[in-house]
Chain A
Amino acid sequence: MSEPISGDVEPHAMQKLLDNNWILLVLGVAVPAVFYTLWGLWNIINIPMAP
C-alpha cells in the first residue's frame, strides 16, 4: 500500500481538492452530465421537425 501524504505544512489547494471526496463527487457527476448528457439531449431536442 502506498504511504499517505502527510505533513505539518498547509496542503496545496490541489491536494485539498483531492482530499475532498464530496467536491470530487459533484465534479465527477456535473462534468459528464453537462458535456455528455445535457449537451447530447439538447442536440436531439433541436433537430428540426420534417415539414
Chain B
Amino acid sequence: MSTTTISEYRVDPVSGLKINRTANTLVKWNAFAAVVFLLVGGLFGLGVALTRMPSVQLLSPELFYMALTAHGLVNLAVWIIFFEMAVLYFLGAHVLGNRLATPRWAWTQFWLMLVGAAMVAVAVLGGNSSVMMTSYVPLTAEPHFYLGLILFAVGALIGCFVFLGTLVIAKREKTYSGSLPLVVFGGVTATIIAVFTIVSGALILIPTFLWSVGLIEHIDPMMYRVVWWGFGHSSQQINVVTHISIWYLISSLVFGAKPMSEKVSRGAFLLYILFLQLGSAHHLLSDPGLTSAWKIFNTSYMIYLAVLASMIHGLTVPGSIEVAQRKKGLDAGLFTWLRKAPWGNPIFSGMFLSLVGFGFIGGITGVVMSVEQINMIIHNTMYLPGHFHGTLVVGTTMAFMAVTYWLIPVVFQRKIALAGMAKWQPYVFSLGAWVFSIALMGAGTMGVQRRHADITFAGQPLAYQYPEIAKGLMDIGEIFGVIMSVGAVMFIVIVLASIFTGERIAEDSAPWPKVEDADVVFEKTGKKHIGIWGMEAPGTFVLAMILFATIILYYFINFKYLSTVWGMS
C-alpha cells in the first residue's frame, strides 16, 4: 500500500502566499458560515424593509419585531464576526506564512459561535424573544437567547486569542522580521477592540441570563445600557478597523501601493485602540442618569481623536493609490489616476465605493450625531438605522464583499464564476445601500421613529401625523433597500457558484501575474517627481477638502435645524 504525504503548506499560485492547510480550512469554514448568515439575515432585512414601506407593510407587527431582532443580530453580529474570524486567521497565518496557534481551539471558536448563533435563532424564531438586538431589560427573552449570545461571544474571544497566539508563533519562528506588516497590525487593533467588546458583553449578558432564569432578582436598566453599549457599539468598531485594514490590503494588491506614511497609519491605529470604543457613549446622550461631563468627554473630546484616525486612513488609502498610479505613468491632471482606475474589477470598485461611502455617509453622520445637542433631534429616530447602514453596509459589508473576490481564488482555489455579474455587483449593492441610508436619515431628521412597524399609526389611539415627505422618504429608502438586497443576492450567488462550480486552480499551476510594485516601476522611468502643485497626491487632497467642507456644512445645517425645532419664544 502506498501512502502520499501532503505537505502542511502550499504556495498559492494566485497570491504567492505560503498557505497553511489547517489554517486555510478554518478560514474557509468561517468565511462560508459568514456568507450563509449574510443570506439568512438579508432575508429578514428584506422583510423589515418591505414592512417599513408605508405603501406595502408586508409583515404583521409580531412578525416585524421578530424579523427585526433576527436581522439585527444576524447581520450586525453573526455574519460580520464569522467573516472577521476568517480575516484574522488569514492575516495571522497566511499573510505571515505561518501556522495557526492551537487549531483545536480555533475549531472550538467555530463550533461555539455556530451553536450560539443557532440557539439565538431558535429563541428568536420561537416568537418569545423579539427583544431587538439590544435586548434592553426589563424586556425578557428566553434564557437560551442570552446563553446563545454568551456562547457566540466566548467563541469569538477564543478566536481573538488564537490570532494573538498565532502572532507569537510567527515572531518566535521568525516568519517575519521587524514590525508586523501594517495590514496585520490592523488585525491586532481589531482584536484588541474585540476583547474589550466581548468582555463588556459577558459582563452584562451573564447576569442577564441569570436574571432570565430567576437567579438574580433585578438588573438596573441604566447600568445595563452603559455596559451593553460597550459591547453593542464597540462590536461595530471592530468592523470599522477590519474594513480599513482591507482597504490597505486591496490598495496594495491592485496597485502595488504602499501607505503614504506607514508610521502615521500605525499611529492612527493606535488612536483607534485608545479612543474608538468611547464612541459607545453616543447611544446614551439622552439618558438622564449620566452626567454631561461623562457624555461630552466621551463623545465630543476623545472620540474626535478616533475621528482624526479615520481621517488619516481616509486620506492615506486613496492617497497611496494616487501615488502608485502616478508613479506608473498616470501623472497628468488632477484625477486621471482615478478615472483610469480598474472600475470593472470588483475588488477595486467595491473597496473604493466602501471608502467613499463610509466617509461621506457613515462617517460624517456619525461625527455629527455624536454632538450632544444635535443628537436631541435624531435620537431614536430612523436616522440611526440610516447612519449605521452607512457604516456597516456601505462601508464594512461592501469592503468584505470586495476582498471576497480576491479570497475565493486564494483560499478556495477556484476562479470567480459569473464574472460579468461580479463586475456589476458592487454598483448595484452600493446604489441601494447609499440611497437607503440617506433616505432613512432624511426621514429620521423629520422625526420618524425607529423600531416601529407602522409609521402611519393606523388605528392607534395616540396617532401622530408625519409630513407626507417623510412617508415618501421611507418609501424611497425601502425601494432602494430592495435594490441593496438584489446586490446582496448577486454576491451570494457569485460566491456559491464560484466555490462549487468555479474553475479549479491547480496547486502546481503557473503563478498568476503579479501587480508591479509602484516604486520599482517609478525607478525604471528615471523621473524624479510626481504630482502637481508640489504635492504627490493633489487629487486626494482635493477630495479630502470636499469631505471637510461637507462635514462643516452638514454640521451647521443640523444646528440651524436644531434652532427651528427648539423655539424659544
Contact = CB atoms under 8 A, between A and B. Distances in A.
Prevailing SS type, chain A contact patch: helix
B244 interface: no
B520 to A, nearest CB: 12
Contact of A1 (B178, B181, B192, B266): B181
A40 B179 contact: no
B409 to A, nearest CB: 17
Interface string A20-32: 0100110111011
Interface residues of B, number: 53
A18 B302 CA distance: 20
A31 to B, nearest CB: 5
B193 interface: yes
A5 B189 CA distance: 18
A44 B206 CA distance: 20
Contacts of B262: 2-3, 5
Given A1-B95, A4-B180, A40 B290 contact: yes
Contacts of B167: 21
Interface in B278-313: 278, 280-281, 284, 289-291, 294, 297-298, 302
A47 B289 contact: yes
B294 A4 contact: no
Interface string B435-458: 000000000000000000000000
B558 to A, nearest CB: 25
A29 to B, nearest CB: 5
Nearest to A22: B164
Contact of B182 (A2, A25, A27): A2
B277 A36 contact: yes
A11 B258 CA distance: 21
Nearest to B164: A21
B289 A36 contact: no
Contact of A44 (B181, B226, B259, B297): B226
A33 B294 CA distance: 13
Nearest to B178: A6
B291 A43 contact: yes
Nearest to A6: B178
A26 to B, nearest CB: 9
A44 B223 contact: yes
Interface stretch (B194-202, B207-215, B376-384, B535-543): B194-202
Given A4-B181, A5-B179, A24 B227 contact: no
Interface of B: 95, 164, 167, 176-183, 185, 188-189, 191-193, 195-196, 199-200, 220, 222-223, 226-227, 230, 234, 248-249, 252, 258-259, 262-263, 266-267, 270, 273-275, 277-278, 280-281, 284, 289-291, 294, 297-298, 302
List 5 A-B pairs, minimum CB-CB distance, nearest first. Answer: A6-B178, A28-B192, A32-B277, A4-B178, A2-B182
Given A1-B181, A28-B277, A31-B275, 13 more contacts: A2-B259, A4-B178, A18-B179, A19-B180, A27-B273, A28-B192, A35-B302, A36-B230, A37-B226, A37-B230, A41-B223, A41-B226, A47-B289
26 contacts: A1-B181, A1-B183, A2-B248, A2-B258, A4-B178, A4-B180, A6-B178, A17-B270, A18-B185, A18-B266, A24-B189, A24-B270, A25-B164, A25-B191, A29-B196, A31-B275, A31-B278, A32-B196, A40-B284, A40-B290, A41-B223, A41-B227, A43-B291, A44-B220, A44-B222, A47-B289
